[in-house]
């Protein structure tokens, strides 16, 4: 019975993400375009409740933290993007970037739902509480770092349009350059802190005997350490002489690109210590 509910909610989730994306898209319309902001908040609330409820059902069905394979990890990343972005939207009062962010989360959830196995089997590797904390913080950090790259990319696009004298819909609807720079640095700092927690728990857990040998040159470990340094630098950039908003944005885009490659490698069976 639980498996039926799990797959039913897995089918519903992409629909909710798509509705939320559509409602955010209205924010890019003109001043007279309908916004349905109250409806968007309701949909966001329902989406979060349904997604968390789905993960709890999975947890109950498997008997351990449910993010132990690529497809549930992709789904959890979609939820992480929302959990990181929604407070930012509330604090800044600028929902115009939401169509891109929530659209990305929709894509992630669609992949996770479509490729979710019909037969869900438990994983002994995932029964440790340290695994749960390690994976949860790492995926939340991933969402934050991807958002840092996204805000960095928007900064560079908007800067290029301003220099070219093109003041189109992006110029009118997006936050200004200073706001985008603050968002880039702030989200990078959050990602850095979460990644610090996740990496250190993972290292401690590995050295405690969870894996046979921890290799820091592992193709799924070394890039994470590089990312940790990169986004730490972005977070500290206001105090680093010469690291302007544009340069921090470039570093964020490069870091996000490396992160995407790392995620692809993580989900491939390369005989690494990371099991997914």
Least confident of 74-83, 90-99, 113-122, 230-239: 113-122
pLDDT of residue 31: 66
With CA atoms as reference, report the closest residue to 132 among 194, 192, 196, 67: 67
Residues in the chain, total:
276
How many degrees, rounded to 5, is the angle at CA 27 between CA 102 and CA 153?
A: 55
172, two tokens? 């009118």
Residue 250 has pLDDT above 60, yes or no: yes
User: Which of the four pLDDT bands, split at 50, 70 and 90, describes residue 247?
Assistant: very high
pLDDT of residue 272: 46
| Mean pLDDT of all residues in 33-51 | 89
| Mean pLDDT of all residues in 99-121 | 88
For the chain, what are the domain ranges? 1-123, 128-276
Distance, CA of 177 to CA of 182 (rounded, Å): 9
Give residue-wise pLDDT tens across range 50-64: 999 999 998 888 887
pLDDT of residue 14: 96
| Mean pLDDT of all residues in 232-248 | 87
User: Which of the four pLDDT bands, split at 50, 70 and 90, describes residue 273?
Assistant: very low
With CA atoms as reference, report the closest residue to 140 among 199, 214, 58: 199
Kindly give, in sequence order, each residue whose CB lies less than 8 Å from that of residue 93, ignoring residues fewer than 6 positions away: none
Query: Full-prediction pTM beyond 0.85?
Result: yes
Least confident of 16-25, 60-69, 122-131: 122-131
Give residue-wise pLDDT tens across range 127-171: 777 788 888 998 999 999 999 999 999 999 999 988 888 877 777
Kindly give, in sequence order, each residue whose CB lies less than 8 Å from that of residue 25, ignoring residues fewer than 6 positions away: 99
């Amino acid at each position: 019975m639980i498996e039926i509910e799990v797959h039913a909610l897995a089918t519903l989730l992409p629909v909710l993400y798509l509705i939320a994306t559509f409602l955010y898209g209205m924010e890019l319309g003109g001043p007279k375009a309908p916004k349905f902001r109250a409806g968007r908040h309701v949909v966001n609330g329902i989406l979060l409740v349904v997604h968390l409820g789905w993960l709890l059902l999975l947890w109950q069905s498997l008997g351990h933290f449910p993010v132990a394979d690529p497809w549930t990890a992709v789904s959890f990343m979609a939820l992480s993007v929302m959990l990181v972005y929604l407070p930012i939207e509330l604090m800044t009062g600028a929902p115009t970037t939401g169509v891109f962010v929530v659209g990305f989360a929709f894509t992630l959830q669609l992949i996770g739902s479509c490729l979710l196995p019909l037969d869900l089997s438990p994983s002994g590797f995932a029964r440790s509480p340290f695994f749960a904390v390690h994976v949860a913080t790492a995926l939340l950090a991933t969402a934050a770092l991807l958002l840092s790259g996204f805000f960095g990319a928007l900064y560079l696009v908007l800067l290029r349009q301003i220099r070219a004298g093109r003041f189109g819909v992006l110029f009118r609807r997006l936050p200004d350059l200073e706001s985008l720079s603050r968002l880039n640095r702030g989200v990078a700092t959050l990602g850095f802190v979460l990644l610090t927690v996740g990496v250190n728990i993972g290292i401690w857990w590995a050295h405690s005997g969870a894996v046979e040998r921890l290799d820091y040159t592992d193709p799924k470990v070394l890039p994470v350490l590089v990312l940790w340094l990169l986004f730490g630098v972005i977070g500290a950039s206001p105090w680093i002489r010469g690291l302007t908003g544009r340069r921090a944005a470039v570093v964020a885009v490069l870091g996000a690109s490396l992160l995407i490659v790392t995620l692809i490698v993580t989900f491939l069976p390369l005989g690494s210590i990371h099991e997914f």
